[in-house]
Structure 1
Amino acid sequence: MFHLIKLEIKKNKLGWFFKGSVLANIIILGFVCMFPLIERNEGEHIFTKYTDYFMISGAFVRATFTIFAAVLISKMIIDEFKNRTILVLFSYPINRKRILSAKLILIFCVTFMAMAISNVVVISGFIGLNQIFHLTSAMSLTIDDFLAGISNLMMFSLATAGAALVPLYFGMRKYSTPATIISSLLIVMVMCSSSGSAFSLASIIYIPLGLAIIALGIVAGAIRKIDRIDLN
């Protein structure tokens, strides 16, 4: 399995993903830094605790990489079925289920690692900029607070990386890339709706966790049916 995953990495050339992740982190950090500036200009304080900034940055990160995961699903799975290039892989003396499993494991791992690293980078970047430019006083926190906040974001990232596989179901129905991307946008709307410090779906871990369980069923079904798919 590990060998198949390595082959998928070489074949798909994920450089665009990593470059996109760096750009996304810069943009997300910029958005998070804008909130205290907007609050200062408007004279209102929507984010009153450091946990509010953890929540909003985490929501941005999860939304971004849920869509990135849908792009990976489209490029690595949907397009190969649509263009029938998957037939080349299926011609090898390797079980079809192992091939599809390797692709899905790679997508899950890349998505989770990207979310985890991005959460640390964005929050650390915001804390650093806040120390220099004094953007907000709500970000004063201890090391224990920081570690607790990051741990919470890691749990959300793990659940969201699983939930990000749900678009596989919609994409595989008619091998449609648009359906895959659009379904990921709907998932983002469900998971990451936020209204500052008020009630927010982005702060409820049971939503991505529930979607991750659904995704597990979708993945299991896709792997079970892969031997019966006729591409001729």
Structure 2
Amino acid sequence: MLKLIQLELRKHRFARNFRTAGIANLVLILFLILIGFTDQGAEDNAFANYQVSFMLIDTFARAVFIIFGGALIAKLIISEYRNKTMNVMFTYPIKRHKIIAAKLIIVFVFTFMMILFTDVLMGALLVVANHFYDFIPDTLTMRDAVVLLLKYTVSSLSAAGMALIPLFFGMRKHSVTTTLVSSILLVLVVCSGFNGPTFSINTLIVIPLTLGAIGLWIASLSMIRLETKDVN
């Protein structure tokens, strides 16, 4: 399996995606800075305290990389079905479900790593910025930091599972557009905010965990269907 993953990474020149993710992080930093300046002095300031600030960061990180995950599914799987290159790969002396599993593992691990990395990076930058400009009144203890790290590790895992949900819609007609649109609609639902930045569907931990489990179930189902409908 590891060899298959390495071959897929080389085949699709996967290192380019890290560069694109870096650009996305840079844009996200600029966007958060813009929000900070726009909300300055407002009663419902997005950076009123660390809890709300980290929730905002995690929400945007999830939104960006769930869509990114949908784009990877479209590139690694859906496009290869449309171009018939997947049929060629299925002629190799390798079990079909292993080929798909390698691709899905890449999407899952990349999405998980990038969401967690973005949460940690943005959080660290927020703490450093607050040290110099003191715009957040409360303090962040080491215990709070450890709890947040554990919380957003679980959050990143559930989001990585959610990123696989667009596979279900994209595989129905092998449509790249449907895959991307479904990932965007998923983000609009999961990352939508109610009552400002203090509450969203994402704060109800049962919902993202359930959606993450659904994403993993869809991934398993797609491998089971390889022997029948999706191969024809």
TM-score range, shorter chain: over 0.9
Deviation at residue 197 of structure 1 after TM alignment:
4.4
Distance in 1 of aligned mates of 2:66 and 2:137: 28
Return 77-86 or 17-26, whichever deviates more. 17-26
User: What residue ranges of structure 1 are gaps of 5+ in the alignment?
Assistant: none
Q: Aligned-residue CA RMSD in angstroms?
A: 1.8
Q: Is the contact made by 2:170 and 2:176 (CA closer than 8 Å) also made in structure 1?
A: yes
Cα gap change, 1:168 to 1:197, in 2 (>3 Å)? closer
Deviations 1:121-140 (A, max 9, x none): 11111211222233x12463
Structure 1 length-normalised TM: 0.92
Cα gap change, 1:118 to 1:199, in 2 (>3 Å)? closer
Q: Is the contact made by 2:46 and 2:56 (CA closer than 8 Å) also made in structure 1?
A: no
| Secondary structure of the structure 1 residue equivalent to 2:140 | coil
Deviations 1:198-225 (A, max 9, x none): 4322322222211122222211221011
Alignment-derived partner of residue 192 in structure 1: 191
Alignment-derived partner of residue 228 in structure 1: 228
1:158 paired to 2:152? no
Alignment-derived partner of residue 114 in structure 2: 114
Q: Report the number of matched residues.
A: 231
Deviation at residue 46 of structure 1 after TM alignment:
5.0
Distance in 1 of aligned mates of 2:120 and 2:103: 26
Structure 2 length-normalised TM: 0.92
Distance in 1 of aligned mates of 2:94 and 2:46: 55
Alignment-derived partner of residue 24 in structure 2: 24
User: What residue ranges of structure 2 are gaps of 5+ in the alignment?
Assistant: none
Q: Is the contact made by 1:112 and 1:161 (CA closer than 8 Å) also made in structure 2?
A: yes
Written as runs of structure 1 = structure 2, the 5 A alignment for 1:20-59 is: 20-42=20-42, 45=45, 47-59=47-59
Cα gap change, 1:27 to 1:219, in 2 (>3 Å)? same
Written as runs of structure 1 = structure 2, the 5 A alignment for 1:117-132 is: 117-132=117-132
Distance in 2 of aligned mates of 1:48 and 1:130: 11
Q: Is the contact made by 2:157 and 2:212 (CA closer than 8 Å) also made in structure 1?
A: no
Alignment-derived partner of residue 209 in structure 1: 209
Deviation at residue 186 of structure 1 after TM alignment:
1.2
Alignment-derived partner of residue 9 in structure 2: 9
Supply the AA of the counterpart residue of 1:64: V
| Secondary structure of the structure 2 residue equivalent to 1:53 | helix
Cα gap change, 1:150 to 1:104, in 2 (>3 Å)? same
Deviation at residue 98 of structure 1 after TM alignment:
0.8
Identity of aligned residues (%): 36
Distance in 2 of aligned mates of 1:181 and 1:138: 40
Cα gap change, 1:35 to 1:147, in 2 (>3 Å)? farther
